[in-house]
């Protein structure tokens, strides 16, 4: 009986050592990596918050957008409020043009009049607001998905810090953007009940596998 007890004690000690050594690396990293995929799909793919509801809808209030905000520069077209829409006859408005005569060639040139001051516009007026701003650049507009350039999604990663395994962003700029969107639309970063349950079950499964592997007589 004494020998059996000693053998069991040695086996148990070996299991504990394996759990202690593998928990930070094998269990945590693998589980958190799978969690990362689910978390990103929920937010950036499905557009759902921590309660499983839609994060929100994109604003369609008229606004002006500078060229530097566009990721597709070709979608930018300098225009003001008076350059878009329809006139009183129901026809699509066009930019006002006036002609000047070239002093050298004597030929007329048509010049687009885009601002009363005569200066070129540096912004694009969009009557459909941010929703239209996304649409003309090929982004979906049915629901908020916190994704435009993709930098926020790329910024969320699984990282090691000592023995701890963390999931989040180390980019201050992206962190501020994500927190700002949480303030605007409500919490979407916190884990859902299903995501929390996923972690619990996966940790139990990983722990069980290690015990079964190293608890053999």
Ordered per-residue pLDDT tens for the chain, 217 residues: 455 545 544 444 554 555 556 555 556 788 889 999 999 999 999 999 999 999 999 999 999 999 999 999 999 999 988 776 544 455 555 544 444 444 455 554 444 444 444 357 899 999 999 999 999 999 999 999 999 999 999 999 998 887 778 899 989 999 999 999 999 999 999 999 999 999 888 888 877 777 777 666 5
Which of residues 108, 142, 176 is at a domain's end?
142
Q: 94 and 194: one domain? A: no
Q: 79 and 131: one domain? A: yes
Number of domains in the chain: 2
Per the CB < 8 A criterion, the answer to whether 48 and 42 are in contact is: yes
Which of residues 142, 177, 199 is at a domain's end?
142
Tokens of 213: 């592997």
Domain that holds residue 8: 1-56+145-217
pTM greater than 0.75 (yes/no):
no
Residues 6+ apart with CB under 8 A from 38: 195, 198
For the packed helices 193-214 and 2-22, what is the interaxial angle rounded to 10 degrees?
A: 140
Q: 13 and 27: one domain? A: yes
Q: 138 and 182: one domain? A: no
Q: Which residues pair with 113 in a beta bridge?
A: 96
């Amino acid at each position: 009986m004494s020998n059996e007890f000693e053998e069991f004690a040695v086996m148990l000690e070996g299991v504990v050592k394996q759990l202690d050594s593998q928990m930070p690396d094998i269990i945590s990293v693998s589980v958190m990596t799978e969690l990362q995929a689910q978390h990103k799909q929920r937010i950036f793919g499905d557009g759902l918050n921590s309660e499983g509801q839609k994060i929100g809808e994109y604003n369609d209030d008229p606004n002006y957008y500078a060229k530097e905000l566009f990721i597709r520069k070709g979608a930018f077209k300098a225009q003001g409020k008076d350059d878009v829409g329809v006139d009183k006859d129901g026809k699509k408005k066009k930019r006002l043009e006036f002609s000047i005569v070239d002093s050298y060639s004597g030929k007329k040139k048509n010049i687009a009049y885009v601002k009363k001051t005569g200066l070129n516009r540096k912004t694009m007026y969009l009557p459909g607001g941010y929703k239209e701003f996304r649409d003309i650049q090929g982004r979906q507009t049915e629901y908020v998905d916190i994704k435009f350039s993709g930098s926020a999604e790329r910024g969320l990663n699984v990282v090691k810090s000592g023995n701890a395994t963390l999931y989040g962003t180390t980019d201050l700029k992206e962190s501020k953007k994500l927190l700002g969107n949480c303030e605007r639309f409500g919490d979407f970063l916190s884990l859902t009940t299903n995501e929390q349950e996923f972690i619990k079950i996966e940790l139990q499964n990983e722990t069980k596998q290690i015990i079964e592997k190293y608890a053999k007589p």
